[in-house]
């Protein structure tokens, strides 16, 4: 029996190693599998692998042990929410890594910009309480008071990330010089704050402008001017925001798991609101919800408008991902009909 147990353990580790290797260049890795096989430490496993694969630790002389301690401390600070948890952080990190490899970004970003974008993705929801900014504001929470109702969650995520650097043995930025540290901090703050859904429309506006300039400018070559730090920062903000809203563009079985999870998180908020005699937020009433219809709305009014312009900026590498969105939407639409019947029935 002991030999059997060891063989099974060995096979699990081999399977885990193969899954982690696939995060290098695959869109739609099953991170729920990585979570199950990694003793619920997907973020530490995937982040360590991707930062090493990109040679970030060597470039900035960061000791592997220091990075391991930091990312483990961050992963431990993600709460076990149904949705906003360490698996979601890993998902956004891996999607951001994947899109940074798009050909349109070749020779555009510096190592420091790549480091800052992936660092921001890994920490972007740390210690998320599983409720929305509006809920924290409505309940006069300490966080809302601390951040004056402005991007309350996002301010908390980035503050906690930088505070974690001062935990014993966790300062992954100790080898950066003053200028690098200042630029890195500016980029991480702006990328994490840009994941606030209230900035969503601004992302679309900036991307439209950038695509328009590409269309007008004769040079058909890469539109992104590597000298324009502001443009590059805006692109990194949109890259992580797109990754944050990438669930409907993942293989259907993964998309459906994320949908179940976000709905359970919203429903728990609705339960809290009911118990506090607060008005139940939209989409948060488990007694009265139409999951497929709300996903159709999410895709048509939030996700597709953003990704449509993002895919125009990043053509042709985004097309396979847009195709998944299209097929998922067709499937959801087919379910709306049956879901209606169920309700009518
Ligand atoms: C896979 O489905 C999803 C994956 C991620 C997300 C991400 N949401 O995070 C945004 C923040 O929580 C703020 N929202 C709170 C909500 C009550 O109002 C929104 C306008 C802003 C939402 C998903 O579906 C949602 C939307 C339609 C059905 C539930
Ligand atoms: Mg967030
Ligand atoms: Zn997020």
For the stretch 55-102, pLDDT in tens is 999 999 999 999 999 999 999 999 999 999 999 999 999 999 999 999
From 45, 84, 97, 206, the catalytic residue: 84
pLDDT at position 345, please?
43
- Residue 34 confidence (pLDDT) above 50: yes
Are 266 and 284 in contact by the 8 Å Cβ rule? The answer is yes
Pocket of ligand 1 (CB under 6 A): 132, 197, 247, 258-259, 262, 281-283, 294-295, 298
Nearest CA to ligand 1 atom 2: 259
pLDDT confidence tier of residue 219, bands split at 50, 70 and 90: low
* Ligand 1 centre distance from Cα of residue 294 (Å): 9
Are 86 and 74 in contact by the 8 Å Cβ rule? The answer is no
- Residue among 192, 186, 236, 188 at smallest CA distance from 210: 236
pLDDT at position 223, please?
67
Residues with CB under 5 A from ligand 3 (ion): 125, 244
Determine phi and psi for 110, rounding to 5 degrees. Answer: -80, 165
pLDDT at position 60, please?
98
State the average pLDDT for the chain: 95
Structural element, H or E, at residue 327: helix 319-344
Query: Residue 258 and residue 239: Cα distance in Å, rounded?
Result: 20
Nearest CA to ligand 1 atom 26: 298
Q: Which residue has the tokens 């006069």?
A: 140
Measure the N-to-C terminal CA separation of the chain; round to a whole number of Å. 51
Q: Which ligand has the shortest distance to the CA of 282?
A: 1
Are 114 and 54 in contact by the 8 Å Cβ rule? The answer is yes
User: Half-sphere exposure (CA, 13 Å, Cβ side) for 152?
Assistant: 21
Determine phi and psi for 69, rounding to 5 degrees. Answer: -65, -40
- Residue 27 confidence (pLDDT) above 90: yes
* Ligand 1 centre distance from Cα of residue 92 (Å): 15
Whole-model pTM: value is 0.96
* Ligand 3 centre distance from Cα of residue 85 (Å): 9
* Ligand 2 centre distance from Cα of residue 321 (Å): 22
Nearest ligand 1 atom, CA 298: 27
Query: Residue 37 and residue 12: Cα distance in Å, rounded?
Result: 7
Tell me the best of 283, 294, 304, 335 to mutate to test the pocket of ligand 1, counting ligand atoms within 8 Å of each CB and taking the most. 283
Name every residue whose Cβ is closer than 8 Å to that of residue 26 and which is 6 or more positions away in sequence.
98
Structure confidence by residue, pLDDT tens digits, 274-307: 999 999 999 999 999 999 999 999 999 999 999 9
Listed range (19-28, 162-171, 201-210, 216-225) with the worst mean pLDDT: 216-225
Answer yes or no: 181 catalytic. Answer: no
ipTM over the 0.90 cut-off:
yes
* Ligand 2 centre distance from Cα of residue 125 (Å): 5
Nearest ligand 1 atom, CA 266: 17
Burial (0-12, 13-18, 19+ Cβ within 10 Å), 287: exposed
- Residue among 211, 191, 174 at smallest CA distance from 315: 211
Nearest ligand 1 atom, CA 281: 17
Nearest ligand 1 atom, CA 284: 17
Query: Residue 173 and residue 234: Cα distance in Å, rounded?
Result: 23
Alpha-carbon dihedral of residues 262, 265, 267, 268, nearest 10 degrees? 180
Nearest ligand 1 atom, CA 132: 12
Query: Residue 167 and residue 284: Cα distance in Å, rounded?
Result: 37
* Ligand 1 centre distance from Cα of residue 289 (Å): 14
């Amino acid at each position: 029996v002991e030999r059997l147990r060891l063989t099974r353990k060995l096979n699990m580790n081999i399977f885990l190693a193969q899954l982690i290797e696939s995060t290098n260049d695959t869109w739609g890795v099953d991170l729920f599998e990585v979570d199950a096989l990694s003793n619920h430490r997907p973020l530490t496993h995937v982040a360590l692998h991707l930062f090493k694969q990109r040679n970030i630790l060597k470039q900035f002389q960061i000791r592997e042990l220091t990075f391991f301690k930091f990312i483990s401390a961050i992963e431990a600070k993600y709460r076990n929410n149904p949705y906003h948890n360490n698996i979601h952080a890993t998902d956004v990190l891996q999607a951001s890594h994947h899109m940074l490899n798009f050909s349109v970004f070749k020779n555009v970003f510096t190592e420091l910009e790549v480091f800052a974008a992936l660092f921001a993705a890994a920490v972007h929801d740390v210690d998320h309480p599983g409720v929305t900014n509006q809920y924290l504001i409505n309940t006069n929470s300490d966080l809302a008071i601390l951040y004056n109702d402005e991007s309350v969650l996002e301010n908390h995520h980035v503050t906690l990330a930088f505070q974690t650097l001062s935990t014993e043995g966790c300062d992954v930025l100790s080898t950066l010089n003053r200028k690098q540290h200042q630029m890195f901090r500016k980029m991480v703050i702006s990328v994490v704050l840009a994941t606030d859904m209230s900035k969503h429309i601004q992302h679309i506006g900036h991307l439209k402008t950038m695509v328009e300039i590409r269309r007008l400018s004769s040079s058909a070559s890469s539109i992104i001017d590597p000298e324009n730090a502001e443009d590059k920062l805006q692109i990194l903000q949109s890259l992580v925001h797109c990754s944050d809203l990438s669930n409907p563009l993942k293989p259907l079985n993964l998309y459906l798991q994320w949908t179940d999870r976000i709905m359970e998180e919203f429903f728990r908020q609705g339960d809290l609101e009911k118990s506090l005699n607060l008005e139940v937020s939209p989409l948060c009433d488990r007694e009265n919800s139409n999951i497929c219809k709300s996903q159709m709305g999410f895709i048509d009014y939030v996700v597709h408008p953003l990704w449509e312009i993002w895919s125009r900026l990043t053509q042709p590498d985004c097309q396979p991902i847009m195709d998944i969105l299209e097929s998922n939407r067709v499937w959801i639409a087919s379910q709306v009909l049956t879901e209606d019947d169920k309700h009518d029935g």
